[in-house]
Each structure stands twice: as structure tokens, then as C-alpha cells.
Amino acid sequence: MKLPSPGTLLPRLRRRNAKRRGPEGEAARKASWPSLASVLLPLLVATAFLLSWEGAVRLSGSDLFPRPIEVAGGIVELVEKGLLFKYIVASLFRVTWGFFLAVLLGVPFGLLLGWFGWAFKAFNPMIQVLRPISPIAWIPVAILWFGVSDAAPVFLIFLASVFPITVSATAAVQNMQLVYLRAARNFGLTRMQLFRRVILPATLPQIITGVRIALGVAWLVVVAAEMIAVNSGLGFLIIDARNAGKRYDLVVAGMVMIGLIGLVLDLLVRRLEHFEEVSWGYGNR
């Protein structure tokens, strides 16, 4: 049999490799599209929002509500005065303490209520009575107890966060599939081993979801509390800018910073969903 010459063999090999790489290259391009879209689509929406904002202000002919460029100037002014970083740190400090205390109490208490039926029957009615009360309604009581200090907003953030976390942890245990418990009992696990190896891993995805919701509520409450109970933070910035010469550019600048920080906090909590102990409960994304 006559072998092909090197001049004809190399092009054949190149064409064959190109055919093999073709579907893989196409799959790689398809795989890269979601990551690209996750960046481009939010940018397009943000650009459309800013253009709509600018157009609405121009069409209204009113100077009460600032344009986007004026808000950007207000943010730059706050940075130059050293106030923006100071207020952001103050708000995050209060949220961190109140939210940490809520997680520290809410998660184990919720697991306890979900696992022991007698505890759920005893405490659930009281939880359902206290849970619908708005944390804002507690502001006069918080000021009466703690005065105008950081303790008042920390207390309000704790109240706003602890109930969603407790309820989500309780529901996570109660809705756990019985097949996990039956399989664990067949292996003769002790109660402590059952809790550590089965109950806690099975409930973590739902608990993380409750923590994420509670963090959003906590960030809302700290802004409202700072408008009344303290004299620092992003909430205080908004109310102070309104009172001091009606600086609505600074008011909206504070609102923008609240939204951006809320987005960052939500992204940080969502990173917990990628841990192996938790990711199984969210399916393929």
C-alpha cells in the first residue's frame, strides 16, 4: 500500500484535528456565554436606568430631584470630606453585631424548635406574636432602654434578623426528608452524630436562604434606625442632608450607597452556597 506523502498527510491531519476541535470549541463558546451575559446584561440594564433617570429629570424641568451626574458629584464630595467611609463603617459595624447575635441565637434555637415537638408547641405561638411587629415600632423602646447610642440600632437589627433566621431553621428541620433519618438510624448513629452528620448538613441550604433574607432586612432596619436613634451612619446622612439646606444630591447619594452595599452583602452571602456542604441543596446553576 502506498503511503501518503508528508505534503498531503499534514493537511489531512490538520483538517481532522479541526473537526475534532470544532464541537469542543463551540461548547467552550457556549459555556463562556453565561458568564459574559452575567456581566453585560446588568450593565445594559444599569445604563438604561441611568438614561431613563436623566431623561425623566430633564423632561420634568424640576430641580428638586438631582440628575445622575449631580449624585456622582455628591458622592465625590462625601469622599473628599472623609464622611462617606466613616458613615459606611458605622452602619456596617451595627449590622455586623446585630446580625451576628441573631445568627448565634436564631440558628440553634430554630434547630431546637424543629427537632423537639414540645419546644415548638411551647415557643412557636410567642414567636408568631412577636414576629409581625415591625422593628421600627421598637425604636421608642430601644431609645428608652439604650439611649442614643450604638446599642439601640444593634438591638433593632437583632430583632429584625432573629425571627426570619429562627423560622427558616425550624422549617428546615421539619421539612427534612425522613429517608435521611432512617438511613442514619440504620447505621446506629448516636443523637449527637445524627445531628452533626445528618440534620445540620441537610438543613444548611434552607438556613443559608433564611440568613440571606434576614441580612437584607437587617440592612433596611439599620438605615431607618440611624435616621432616629443615632447621629452617624448612612441613614443619618440621608436625614441630615435633607435638613441641611435640602441637599437632595447627597440624599440620593446615600440611597445609592445603601443599594450598592446591599448588593455586595447579598453577593457575599451567596458565596456560601458554593461550599460543598451547601451547594448540593441548590441544584445545577
Q: At 180, which CATH number?
A: 1.10.3720.10
Rounded-to-integer distance, Cα 76 and Cα 64, Å = 20
C-alpha to C-alpha distance for 173 and 209, rounded to whole angstroms: 14
Any idea of the CA torsion for 194, 197, 202, 206, to the nearest 10 degrees? 100
> 49 and 181 share a domain?
no
Instruction: Looking at the structure, tell me whether residues 33 and 155 fall in a common domain.
Output: no
Residue 32 is predicted with a pLDDT of 59
- Here the cell at position 55 is 431623561
What is the per-residue pLDDT for 9?
A: 43
- For residue 1, the model assigns a pLDDT of 47
Domain of 75? 68-282
Do 57 and 95 share a domain, yes or no?
no
* Same domain membership, residue 194 and residue 164: yes
Tell me what pLDDT residue 162 has.
94
pLDDT confidence of residue 106: 93
pLDDT of residue 182: 74
What string of pLDDT tens digits covers the 285 residues of the chain?
Answer: 444 444 444 455 455 555 555 555 555 455 555 667 777 888 898 889 989 988 888 888 777 788 889 889 989 988 988 888 999 999 999 999 999 999 999 999 999 998 888 999 999 999 999 998 888 888 888 888 888 788 888 999 999 999 999 999 999 888 877 777 777 777 777 777 777 777 887 888 888 888 988 998 888 888 888 887 778 888 888 888 888 767 888 888 989 998 899 889 888 888 876 766 665 555 554
Residue with cell 447575635: 101
The reply to whether 239 and 273 lie within a common domain is yes
Separation between Cα atoms, residue 74 and residue 253, nearest integer Å: 6
The CB density around residue 191, as the number of other CB atoms within 10 Å, is: 9
The pLDDT assigned to 62 comes to: 73
Nearest to 98 by CA among 191, 214, 180: 214
- State the first-to-last Cα distance of the chain, in angstroms, to the nearest integer: 54
What integer pLDDT is reported at residue 227 of this predicted model? 80
Who contacts 40 (Cβ-Cβ below 8 Å, separation ≥6)? none
Q: How many distinct structural domains can be found in the chain?
A: 2
- Indicate whether 124 and 231 sit together in one domain: yes
**CA dihedral (249, 254, 258, 263) positive or negative:** positive
The whole-number pLDDT of residue 223 equals: 83
Sequence-ordered alpha helix ranges (H) in the chain: 6-60, 68-81, 83-115, 117-130, 139-146, 151-174, 178-186, 191-194, 200-226, 234-243, 248-270, 276-279
187 and 261 in a common domain: yes
- For cell 428546615, what's the residue? 172
Residues 33 and 101 in one domain: no
On whether both 58 and 176 belong to a single domain, the answer is: no
Predicted local confidence at residue 127, as pLDDT: 92
Helices (H) and strands (E) in the chain, counts: 12, 0
DSSP 8-state symbol, 67: P
